[in-house]
Structure 1
Amino acid sequence: MTERPLRNLDLNLLPTLDALLRERNVTRASEQLGLSQPAVSAALARLRRHFGDELLHRTGNQYELTPLAQQLRGATEAALSGVQRVFDASPAFDPASSDRTFRLMMSDYATAVLGEQLVRRLADIAPGVRLQLNQTEPTFVDNAAETLRSVDGMVLPHGFLKDIPVVDLYEDTWVCVVSPDNERVGDELTMDDVATLPWVMLWNLPTAFAPAARQLNLLGVEPLVEITVDSFLTVPFLIAGTRRIAVLQTRLAHRLAATAGVRLLPCPWDAIPLKEAFWWHPSHRRDPAHQWLRKLLQEVGEDLMSAT
């Protein structure tokens, strides 16, 4: 497809394209945009001519995205986010009067531990500021340089990313999680238990894992992974009443232990502490709003550490 000069493009079509790709339906897209159905239909016709592609094609009683449309989904979302940041930019930032939306990517663990304190601070000092919190996934981490172009930042431990601006937030330790009725485990968990009992593991991929569990490989122990999950919050509930074990961040484990009905034990190896950090794209460096966000996250992290 021949590249067209930006001046020849109608950027008003971008929100419509985004709505159509999300809703896969002209009527629902028009409702989301607050436009008439004929107006959205006309925009779709223009988009089809521009891309030389149907974008939406009927399959039975519903519409499906064409292969090109599927490729456009992520790019369209990133473009809209970038445009929003451009027009949100200002030479100064007043959190007390701002209605800016910050989009952050973080695990459910970080959301539970850091997010709780963060939203409380926002309610006090920036009541109009909004957060959009999205779960991190391996594909986002694998393509972090590109992912960070479309969000304000990613909360992730050290050990996954490099050569990306970062602000350290707080540290956490690890504990092992077992069921109280697991007769195999005594007052202490042993390395033999670790090597022979079945595990619940997060993702278990090169760029998505609990670092303390991956550390076992360096000790010559290959955990017997029985269940793989994509959520830290579910781990204790998959341990209760079974012979399985897992590692979990100490701050989160203590919150969930009583509810899930599990027992927490020290790791029988020298588990490396977790260093949680905020990673962000260099384009945000001089943005006053983003500078404020980074400072706020640091303060929240310091509060967590002082409360330990």
Structure 2
Amino acid sequence: MTASGQSSNGQGGASASLHGGTVRRLNLNLLYPLDAILHAPTLTEAGRRVSLSQSAMSHALRRLRDHFGDDLVVHTGGEPQLTPLGHALRPEVRRIMREVEGAFNYSIAFDPLTTTETITIAADDANEQMLLGPVLRSFSTLAPGLQVNVIPLDIERPDRSLDQGADLLLLPEHMALDGLETMPMLTVWPSCLVWDRHPEFENCVEITEAQYRAARHIVARGEERQTFALDQNGVDMLRARRICVRATSQATLPAIVIGSDLVATGNSWVFQHYAALMPFKVFEAPFARRGIVTVAQWPRNRHDPVLKWFILQARSYFEQYYKV
């Protein structure tokens, strides 16, 4: 110990800085405009997100620039560009904001019948269809005031969905992010969807490799980026498909496939749902080798009982109808 009573390893000095000069000189309320400035396309939009006028945001930006000794954001050719420090701060500030919100939203008391909270879920097209259908219908009596907001999952960078405000991610296990709580939700298989009076498959109980290669195919937007559990033969089969129609999303596939000779390849979970409602047949894809696990992920610092209740209820629903 030093004469001042501080540890010789410097921790006492760090504590003094944390509780004293550095933090006290910077109003912690500036975290909110800082987060908005680092994520919004314009200063005006940043102000709108935190309910501050443009002049108030300009003042906040000046204070932040003085504190960091950096411009944080500059305008090049009329377009805002983050400085290297701004880019480095972006995920850190968002992480801190999630932790702050988690602390202030912390509660051990929760009544699903009376809650009016909102949960934001990032999901791909297939999971969104099912969430907005049977899963959420099961919540209508359990938590009638719960509000659910579904946003598109960023396939290329799922972590960006968290930056966009997602509380929960639903995504394939191979895309799961490190450092998040993870829970398996269900297992799906690559499958083929055809009209039940398809001239080639009306009386078939399976689709062979030769039939698959000879068929006319339809694909949904983004399907090429999906990864199935394939051997090289399966990869070759997908690449060699004769794609005749490219649809905007999986949601449009039924209206196009019905009455046609097209074959759609995708999520067995969604295709079985279509077949239960419309005249379709679902076959296991001839290249399927193992199922793909869909997982739920959420920040480890979130201790929100509403979120955990939602996750457990959704998983319980999946377990009733699908192999998890």
Q: What is the Cα deviation at residue 71 of structure 1?
A: 5.0
8 A contact 2:176–2:295 mirrored in 1: no
Q: Shift in Å at residue 171 of structure 1?
A: 4.5
Name 2:3's counterpart in structure 1: none
132, 136, 161: which one aligns with 1:119 = 136
Kindly provide the CA deviation profile for residues 54-105 of structure 1, in whole angstroms up to 9, marking residues without a partner as x: 3343345x44122434554444444323321111002322333334333332
2:58 maps to: 41
Does residue 249 (structure 1) correspond to residue 264 (structure 2)? The answer is no
Q: What is the aligned partner in structure 2 of residue 215 from structure 1?
A: 230
Structure 1's unaligned 5+ residue stretches are none
Name 1:29's counterpart in structure 2: 46
- The alpha-carbon distance between structure 1 residues 100 and 222, as it changes in their structure 2 partners (threshold 3 A), is same
Give percent identity, aligned residues only.
22
Helix, strand or coil for the counterpart of 1:124?
A: coil
Letter in 2 for 1:252: V
- Listed one character per residue, the Cα deviations across residues 104-126 of structure 1 (whole Å, up to 9, x for unaligned) are 32212111113433433444333
What is the rounded CA distance, in whole Å, between the counterparts of 1:283 and 1:263 in structure 2? Answer: 44
Aligned CA distance change for structure 1 residues 20 and 220 (closer, same or farther; 3 Å): closer
Give distance in 2, aligned partners of 1:304 and 1:131: 22
Change in CA separation of 1:159 and 1:40 when aligned onto 2, cut-off 3 Å: closer
RMSD: 4.4
Report the structure number with the largest CA radius of gyration.
2
Q: Does 1:91 align with 2:108?
A: yes
Partner deviation per Cα, 1:174-214 (whole Å, 9 max, x = no partner): 5313579987x454443123335575374545xx42x3xx4
C-alpha distance in structure 2 between counterparts of 1:107 and 1:40, whole Å? 35
- The corresponding residue for 2:9 is none
Aligned ranges 1:37-186 → 2 under 5 Å: 37-59=54-76, 62-68=78-84, 69-140=86-157, 151-158=166-173, 160-161=175-176, 165-178=181-194, 185-186=200-201
Structure 1 length-normalised TM: 0.70
Does the Cα contact within 8 Å between 2:169 and 2:296 map onto a contact in 1? Answer: yes
Q: What's the offset of the Cα at 1:22?
A: 4.1
Task: Give distance in 1, aligned partners of 2:68 and 2:214.
Answer: 56
Contact 1:157 1:276 in 2 (8 A): yes
For 1:246, the aligned partner's letter is A
Q: Which has the higher mean CA deviation after the structures are superposed, 32-41 or 244-253?
A: 244-253
Give the length in aligned residue pairs.
292
Per the alignment, do residues 160 and 42 of structure 1 end up closer, same or farther by CA in structure 2, a change over 3 Å counting? closer
1:288-307 paired onto structure 2 within 5 Å: 288-305=305-322
Give the whole-Å Cα distance in 2 for the aligned partners of 1:230 and 1:81. 33
Q: Does 1:233 align with 2:248?
A: no
Deviations 1:9-65 (A, max 9, x none): 4321122123334443333433443323321110011122233333343345x4412
- Aligned equivalents of 1:147 and 1:10: distance in 2? 25
The whole-number CA distance in structure 1 between the counterparts of 2:316 and 2:29 is: 39
C-alpha separation in 2, matches of 1:268 and 1:23: 43
For structure 1, which segment, 93-102 or 11-20, has the greater mean C-alpha deviation from structure 2 after superposition? Answer: 93-102
Letter in 1 for 2:81: L
CA drift at 1:151: 4.9
Q: Unaligned stretches of 5+ in structure 2?
A: 1-13
Residue 7 of structure 1 aligns with which residue? 23
- Rounded to whole Å, the distance in 2 between the matches of 1:84 and 1:112 is 29
